[in-house]
Amino acid sequence: MIGISPRQLEVFVAIALDGSVRAAAERLYLSQPAASMALAELERQLGSPLFAREKGRLRLNARGRELLPLAQELIERFAELERRAGDASAALSGELRVGASNTVGNYLVGDLLGPFASAHPGVSLRLGVANTARIAEGVLDHAYDVGCVEGPVTHPSLDVRPWREDWLAVCVRPDHRLAGKPRLRREDFAGERWVLRERGSATRAMSERALAELPAGTTVLELDQSEAIKQAVIAGLGIACLPAVAIGDAVAAGRLAVLKTPFLDMRRVLSVVVHRSRYRGALLDAFLGML
């Protein structure tokens, strides 16, 4: 009979997420030899290694990727069993790993995490911020328990549900020639210099759709953060499509102007993403319920 312990599973999951025994040991408040022994014993009982060793880091092999979601589920079920066996009404505890695309992570993090953090102070929240493609990949790899993204996600293994609406705005310096025009037309954008987000981001995809409806221009910069693009536009390097939530402060301060472009549909829906095979225990259910 296999005698796998919850601690061995915790070590396995921590190494899978952090990529090293040292980091996992620190996360679990173990010595490095104790974490190494726990992993070795787990692999011995399972009869196969769970990681490939690559340049000092541990990466999940096929067997490890197969077992990771099951190990995460068992850890959560152990925690739920302990909570119910003690006091079912006890406060939630544990860790929730949330991935957020750049707009959400940089400008809407309070709306995303604030109510849950206030209601469940015993839960540790870990937030990772990247573009939509990387967050979706993280949810698929079980590196994140849940993701919140600004772009479309269509992978069959992901459950996608709408969270809230968002929109992009075409912004320029207040002294830009287009800022003074009372009524803009598509033709007015001919030859404009554009500052764009990096490929793989939802903002880039929507910007490209908008540019496809306008006369040809020039891409002068590609940057991976909305803040950097905002500063580039303020510096007069070009114009850009940016999330409205990202430029409100600069518009209020008179450093940016928003162009009225009713001929462009810049609306989009922010979505919550969960792996379809992900176990949805009390912790994840509570988070999703608040959204």
Query: CATH number for the domain including 45?
Result: 1.10.10.10
The answer to whether residue 248 is domain-embedded is: yes
Calpha distance 246→47 (Å, rounded)? 51
- Pair (171, 82) in one structural domain: no
Q: Which domain holds residue 18?
A: 1-90
* % pLDDT > 70, the chain: 98
The answer to whether residue 152 is domain-embedded is: no
- Pair (263, 175) in one structural domain: yes
Calpha distance 45→140 (Å, rounded)? 27
The CATH number linked to 262 is 3.40.190.10
The answer to whether residue 206 is domain-embedded is: yes
The answer to whether residue 5 is domain-embedded is: yes
Residue with tokens 């996600």: 153
**Over the stretch 104-146, which tens digit does the pLDDT of each residue have?**
999 999 999 999 999 999 999 999 999 899 999 999 999 999 9
**Over the stretch 43-92, which tens digit does the pLDDT of each residue have?**
999 999 999 988 778 899 999 999 999 999 898 888 888 877 776 667 88
* % pLDDT > 90, the chain: 76
Among 67, 90, 113, the domain-final residue is 90
For residue 1, pLDDT over 60 is answered with: no
The answer to whether residue 77 is domain-embedded is: yes
Calpha distance 246→43 (Å, rounded)? 47
Mean pLDDT of 247-257: 95
For residue 240, pLDDT over 90 is answered with: yes
Contact predicate 151/272, CB 8 Å: no
pLDDT at 287 (0 to 100): 95
Count of structural domains, the chain = 2
Calpha distance 4→73 (Å, rounded)? 14
Mean pLDDT of 222-242: 95
- Pair (86, 172) in one structural domain: no
pLDDT at 88 (0 to 100): 61
The answer to whether residue 127 is domain-embedded is: no
- The DSSP result for 164-190, as a single string, is EEEEEEEEE-TTSTTTT-SS--GGGGT
Amino acid occupying residue 118 = S
Calpha distance 287→291 (Å, rounded)? 7
**Rounded to 5°, angle at Cα 109 from 103 and 114:** 160
